[in-house]
Amino acid sequence: MKVDVLLGLQWGDEGKGKVVDVLTPNYDVVARFQGGPNAGHTLEFEGQKYVLRSIPSGIFQGDKINIIGNGVVLDPALFKAEALALEASGHDLKKRLHISKKAHLILPTHRFLDAAYERLKGDAKVGTTGKGIGPTYTDKISRNGLRVGDILCDFEAKYAKAKARHEQILKSLDFSYDLSQVEREWMEGIEYLKEFPLVDSEHEVNRILSEGKTILAEGAQGTMLDVDFGSYPFVTSSNTICAGACTGLGVAPKRIGEVYGIFKAYCTRVGSGPFPTELNNEIGAKIRELGHEFGAVTGRERRCGWIDLVALKYAVMINGVTQLIMMKSDVLDSFETIKACVAYEVGGKEIDYFPYEVDDSIKPIYAELPGWRCGMTKMTSEDEFPEEFNNYLSFLEDELGVPIKIVSVGPDREQTITRYTD
Ligand code: GDP
Ligand code: IMO
Ligand code: MG
């Protein structure tokens, strides 16, 4: 069988958590393949709201196995807090949450290094989530990292060595910090991790597939935050794209099946970096208010703007998207006119591709479509869609060349409409 991949096509927070939860009943296993607690994936059902950071979003549907893959970076202290909160709300995780021994550990000093490097960058800072993501992936690539499997053997010595190296760097950066409390919590997190199945997840994943079972791979962040293809250097430190599922789980490219590309009916971004369709005006503020566009992890205001089809087309291409999923349609319910960026003006020239250099001088060129101006949150079938909304969907499908198979009209699990298939 194949691994289907669900990933964000914009700058993150597209609604991945919600849709993974909705699709989980169709799969045997759900697996996260990259990122770490920089993610905040929100799910709502039966009047409850949950925000997941490291735990896959398939954890609430029945007794499905969920896997944290080798491509993920894990902070044991944050993981413990997240898992205990789920256990307190009645979700038993211990047997069905498997963790790759090859996943890298975020050390307390990685978080301080994240802050120190951001300070060093001054005005050019990335606006990271401060969770130590960049320094942890840096250590992985430079072959200095600690992995989950390391906690099973001679861990104290390995930890002391890594910590000493980090402290040297922090000293050279003149960065002051207090390690005692966070280190204690972190060590408690390490002990807690040992209560979970620590596995060779690449073997497990391939065995599951050869048994004829199905896997849904859950992406974090979004394509425009990918370390290779995003708006570098204002990106995260992992491959958020479809290929990341191969390296982050240990599956061969020919094993990839459907690629679900998820996007908002508009666009948001948290942190610094270019955002050609950003609206620094009352329209942007209205989208933020109606869409509750504040970070699930940091609470930071999300920057808001119209949908950017130049960037989206690029994301569809890079990922080989086979099905599109449009989120937060309801947020645009009251708009008289909806704009969609179809090209950029760069140095007086019009281009329709995502260029190497994306800066503030880029001017978006918009198509304008009439809004539907009615409430969509209670709709349950595409038969109820207003004509203007259908026109918006057709317009996007024509531009992107991929069908929109699912439309989301609210944050709840139930507010999800699957469109007719041909
Ligand atoms: P993720 O990181 O991609 O999982 O997305 P986040 O959870 O960070 O952000 C998506 C936000 O939008 C969450 O607060 C969701 O509850 C909410 N949400 C998801 N789908 C919809 C929708 O269709 N309409 C509305 N109004 N909110 C939605
Ligand atoms: P989910 O999975 C939105 C952004 C940060 C920053 C940049 C680098 O919930 O969609 P990092 O801490 O990764 O080094 O920060 O990436 N960022 C996200 N933005 N959603 C996310 O995750 C993000 N994870 C990181 O704001 O600009
Ligand atoms: Mg999020």
Which tens digits make up the pLDDT trace of 342-364?
999 999 999 999 999 988 889 99
- Between CA 365 and CA 62 the distance in angstroms is 46
Block residue for tokens 């191969």:
246
Block residue for tokens 């989208």:
287
- On the question of pLDDT at 256 being above 70, the answer is yes
- Please work out whether the CB of residue 18 comes within 6 Å of at least one atom of ligand 1: yes
Which tens digits make up the pLDDT trace of 316-344?
999 999 999 999 999 999 999 999 999 99
- On the question of pLDDT at 250 being above 90, the answer is yes
pLDDT band at 276 (very low <50, low <70, confident <90, very high): very high
The predicted model gives 198-203 an average pLDDT of: 98
- Between CA 295 and CA 173 the distance in angstroms is 29
41 is catalytic: yes
In the prediction, which pLDDT does 299 show?
Answer: 84
In the prediction, which pLDDT does 359 show?
Answer: 86
Which tens digits make up the pLDDT trace of 34-55?
999 999 999 999 999 999 999 9
The predicted model gives 181-208 an average pLDDT of: 98
- On the question of pLDDT at 227 being above 70, the answer is yes
Residue 31 Cα to chain centre, angstroms: 13
Task: Name the residue with the closest Cα to ligand 1, atom 16.
Answer: 411
The dihedral formed by the CA atoms of 8, 13, 14 and 19, expressed in degrees to the nearest 10: 90
The predicted model gives 374-382 an average pLDDT of: 97
Pocket test for ligand 2, best of 10, 129, 229, 328 (most atoms within 8 A of CB): 129
* Residue partners of 160: CB distance under 8 A and separation at least 6: none
- On the question of pLDDT at 191 being above 90, the answer is yes
How many residues in total does the chain contain?
Answer: 422
- On the question of pLDDT at 154 being above 90, the answer is yes
Rounded to two decimals, the pTM is 0.97
Three-state secondary structure readout of 357-416 = CCCCCCEEEEEEEECCCCCCCCCCCHHHCCHHHHHHHHHHHHHHCCCEEEEECCCECCCE
The predicted model gives 203-231 an average pLDDT of: 98
Which tens digits make up the pLDDT trace of 293-320?
998 777 889 999 999 999 999 999 999 9
- On the question of pLDDT at 421 being above 70, the answer is no
Which long-range contacts link 60-65 to residues 24+ away (Cβ below 8 Å)?
60/21, 60/24, 60/91, 61/21, 61/24, 61/25, 62/24, 62/25, 63/96, 64/24, 64/27, 64/28, 64/29, 64/30, 64/96, 65/28, 65/29, 65/30, 65/96, 65/98, 65/208
Task: Name the residue with the closest Cα to ligand 1, atom 17.
Answer: 411
In the prediction, which pLDDT does 205 show?
Answer: 98
- Between CA 86 and CA 57 the distance in angstroms is 12
Q: Looking at 13, 75, 139, 333, which residue is catalytic? A: 13
In the prediction, which pLDDT does 298 show?
Answer: 77
Give the distance (Å) from ligand 3 centre to CA of residue 295: 7
Block residue for tokens 């309801």:
330
- Between CA 397 and CA 419 the distance in angstroms is 13
For residues 64 and 58, is the Cβ–Cβ distance under 8 A? Answer: yes
63 is catalytic: no
The predicted model gives 220-240 an average pLDDT of: 98
By percentage, how much of the chain surpasses pLDDT 90? 95
In the prediction, which pLDDT does 62 show?
Answer: 83
User: Quick check: helix, strand or coil at residue 146?
Assistant: coil
Q: Looking at 41, 98, 110, 166, which residue is catalytic? A: 41
Residue 290: exposed, middle, or buried by beta-carbon count in 10 A (0-12, 13-18, 19+)? middle
